[in-house]
Amino acid sequence: MHEVTFVGQPIILVVAPVEQRDDLVEELASRYGRDYDLRSAVTFAEALSVVTRALSEERTIALLVVGPDVGGTSGIDVSTAVHALSPTTRRIVALPRGWDWSTAGTEQIREANTAGRIDTYLGTPQAERDEEFHAAITEILSDWAWTSSAVVVEGMQIVSDGHSAELSALVDFCQRMGMPYRRHHTSSEVGRQIVDGCPGEVAFPLVRLPSGDYLVRPTLAEIGSLLYGRPSELPQDLLADLLVVGAGPAGLAAAVYGASEGLSTVVVESEAIGGQAGTSSMIRNYLGFPRGISGMRLSQRARVQALRFGARFLVGFPVSGLSVAPEPGAPHVVEFEDGTRVGARTVLIATGSSYRRLGVEPVEELVGRGVHYGAAMSVARDATGADAYIVGGGNSAGQAALHLARFARRVTILVRRPDLSATMSDYLVREIQDNPRIAVRGCTEVVDARGIDRLEGLTLRDTTTGAEEHVAAGLLLLLLGAKPCTTWLPGEIATDERGFVLTGRDVPQDRWHGERPPEASATSIPGIYAAGDVRSGSMKRVASASGEGAGVVPLVHAHLDDLASA
């Protein structure tokens, strides 16, 4: 098991001409001097010397703040060189006071930001209490701490004797839910203490909670119930105005807008809140977040926002069925695997889609032991120094590759098409092309895997020539298209040939209730709606899913008004 550990405080490195360096060091030390080791340099050579010495001492460099020009070397080149030595370091170009924004240097910095060669650029503070400057610094340090460093607060302690699918699912759940945890191997001192203190039978993964209680091979439902309780604990007479099944961007948006407008709103999610978007290491094209935001952070903020308005969540509990209201005015009933039934006046289907299985038996046998479907955030640190492979050409694959490149020796994206241009957003394609640690192999598929306790290698096949190649591999991420999560739906809900839910004018005319087609997000059953990736014809983007989820709420109000006046 790999766990990142560091010696001493993480370092913030400032590289700039003397006057700007002094200003920046003073500003940063006043806010971060207690928790970070502030170091500085005024030349390119000095900067590389500081980085090399820090790494030799097993220190970590959390943040590089560099001026646009450092003794004749551009700050972008300094950033690139530091990043090559320390790929997890976040990089900011700090523009000096009086910077002329009309210069060619500004455009070069903007281009570097677009290409992912720096994380952002900021003006050096010109007055006291520059909170905008520090808000950006704090966001970037927070992102670094959660994705690149060991968790400081132990929270849950997870003990295991090796890699497994159960351990992988548990760690991924905690990571995406923002639950502090730390992993310990049974051979470690802490691991042995936890095992010795277990009052009952020991099996792995073994969890010790902050309360001192133990969970043996816990399910996601057991972990989720610690946060929000169980379906069986809901009031027996509960009749929700809006019951949202699925807590990805569409479901969360519906929860925020529904609860904020006074609807009694219940949200149920079988895995971690956030859906597939919650696994994204950095979403850079979501409106209002110019520096980008991780899927976990975006989901966490939306969840807190919905809770503030009174929405209720159930996490880790799969829904097993839906009983359609037998007559107008009667409730729809959602059924859980534990037998609990919850009634609702309206239901939003927002269960999204899951990744298709590769179907290669040796690969499937290694799931959780170096092979993973999604989950780039939670397994990235395990790829440190290894060769990592990603199968998939969508935005999720691009985001995963950029994140893995901070840890893996080499990341290779495998796609059946010749390249990524047809399936991935242009900004991600450009970032990938500019990252020396990432390669793209078109017309390639995985046909075999090898490894006893953990993935050790793959067999790749060229789909045009049939030639096969054996490669060493420490990690394989599979992000293979979309399969709708709709097996729990009854036949009354119309779906297309692939299982995606039909809405609006796409609903067959013989399934309409009246002479007009259903509203845009309405299904073939009045009072039941669909939004996000589960809906046939959706854009498969975070912003569009959020918009669809929010757009369902006016339809819910109209339906409830119709029921009240009937």
Shortest CA distance to 352 belongs to which of 376, 319, 323, 380?
A: 319
3-state secondary structure 386-410: CEEEEECCCHHHHHHHHHHCCCCCE
Shortest CA distance to 216 belongs to which of 229, 225, 205?
A: 205
Provide CATH code, domain 156-218.
3.40.30
Map residue 23 onto helix, strand or coil. helix
Looking at residue 2, its pLDDT comes to 39
Looking at residue 7, its pLDDT comes to 62
Looking at residue 3, its pLDDT comes to 42
Provide CATH code, domain 361-478.
3.50.50.60
Q: Do the bridges between strand 341-349 and strand 239-245 make them parallel or antiparallel, or are there none, so unpaired?
A: parallel
Between CA 406 and CA 414 the distance in angstroms is: 19
CATH architecture assigned to 228-354+484-565? 3-Layer(bba) Sandwich (3.50)
Residues of the chain short of pLDDT 50, as ranges, are 1-5
Would you kindly state where each structural domain of the chain is located, as residue ranges? 11-148, 156-218, 228-354+484-565, 361-478
| 521 contacts 552 by C-beta, under 8 angstroms | yes
Looking at residue 152, its pLDDT comes to 57
Between CA 271 and CA 266 the distance in angstroms is: 16
| 254 contacts 531 by C-beta, under 8 angstroms | yes
Shortest CA distance to 123 belongs to which of 103, 93, 102?
A: 93
Between CA 215 and CA 191 the distance in angstroms is: 14
| Whether the domain at 228-354+484-565 and the domain at 361-478 fall into the same CATH topology | yes
Q: Which amino acid is at 504?
A: G
| 166 contacts 190 by C-beta, under 8 angstroms | no
Q: What are phi and psi of 528, to 5 degrees?
A: -120, 130
Judge if the upstream peptide bond of residue 205 is cis by omega within 30 degrees of 0. Answer: yes
Q: Which fold has domain 11-148?
A: Rossmann fold (3.40.50)
For CA atoms 297, 299, 301, 304, the dihedral sign is: negative
